[in-house]
């Protein structure tokens, strides 16, 4: 689904603004991820089934939300999951299992390189300390971003307005001057409500075509 920014009344397009900044989400935009890879490795070190581990971590607790908003440290997160799932696993093995779930999306990584020097680049992600250190910062295009905003540092997750404003402040731009790209429609709609031009990424080459139509790429 492609969605172009509109004014608050939902009708008037914001086409008069020149795009000066492009802000990318991380998960399923720059890298795909699969939490099953994590829970599967935990199940190898636990009497609890893989399905139950997934349910305990992702459905019946707020552990990942608390970790992604900085309410839990990495060590706290490890100990709470270890206790919850009765794990026989050291912290280093746990961290590796937790972060080894990402696969770069080559076409979108290449778009970052093409956009550099044409617009200001932002990275805006609901994430945590370990994923930043062992996944995001390992991307070879990570140094190309002019501004990075992470939920665990802001203390708020998308679609909270504060996290979008943090990124805008770092870029030194207005919402109307920025294109926001995310795979979650709710987050794109929130950005559009704030004045951004929005694009909901669903895979394929549509993102590159959209960037060219908006004048960001030749």
Each residue's pLDDT tens digit, 99-138 = 999 999 999 999 999 999 999 999 999 999 999 999 999 9
User: Hey, what's the torsion of the CAs at 127, 132, 137, 141, to 10 degrees?
Assistant: 0
Domains 21-32+103-213 and 35-99 fall in the same CATH topology:
no
Reported as type and span, the H/E element at residue 78 is helix 74-85
Q: Which residues contact 138 (CB under 8 A, 6 or more apart)?
A: none
- For domain 21-32+103-213, give the CATH number: 3.40.50.1000
CATH 2.60.120 fits domain 35-99: no
Each residue's pLDDT tens digit, 20-46 = 999 999 999 999 999 999 999 999 999
Domain boundaries, the chain: 21-32+103-213, 35-99
Q: What's the whole-model pTM score?
A: 0.91
């Amino acid at each position: 689904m492609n969605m172009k920014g509109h004014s608050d009344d939902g009708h008037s397009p914001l086409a008069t603004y020149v795009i000066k900044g492009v802000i990318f989400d991380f998960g399923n935009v720059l890298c795909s991820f699969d939490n099953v890879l994590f829970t599967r490795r935990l199940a190898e070190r636990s009497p609890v089934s893989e399905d139950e581990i997934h349910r305990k971590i992702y459905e019946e607790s707020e552990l990942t939300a608390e970790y992604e908003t900085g309410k839990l440290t990495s060590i706290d997160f490890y100990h709470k999951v270890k206790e919850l799932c009765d794990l026989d696993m050291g912290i280093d093995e746990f961290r590796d299992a937790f972060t080894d779930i990402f696969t770069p999306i080559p076409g979108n990584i290449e778009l970052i390189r093409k956009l550099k020097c044409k617009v200001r680049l932002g990275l805006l992600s609901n994430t945590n300390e370990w994923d930043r250190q062992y996944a995001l910062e390992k991307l070879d295009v990570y140094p190309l971003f002019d501004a990075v905003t992470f939920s665990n540092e802001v203390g708020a997750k998308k679609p909270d307005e504060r996290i979008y404003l943090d990124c805008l402040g770092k870029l030194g731009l207005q919402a109307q001057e920025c294109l926001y790209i995310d795979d979650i429609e709710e987050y794109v709609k929130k950005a559009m409500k704030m004045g951004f031009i929005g694009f909901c990424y669903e895979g394929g080459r549509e993102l590159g075509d959209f960037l060219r139509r908006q004048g960001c790429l030749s």
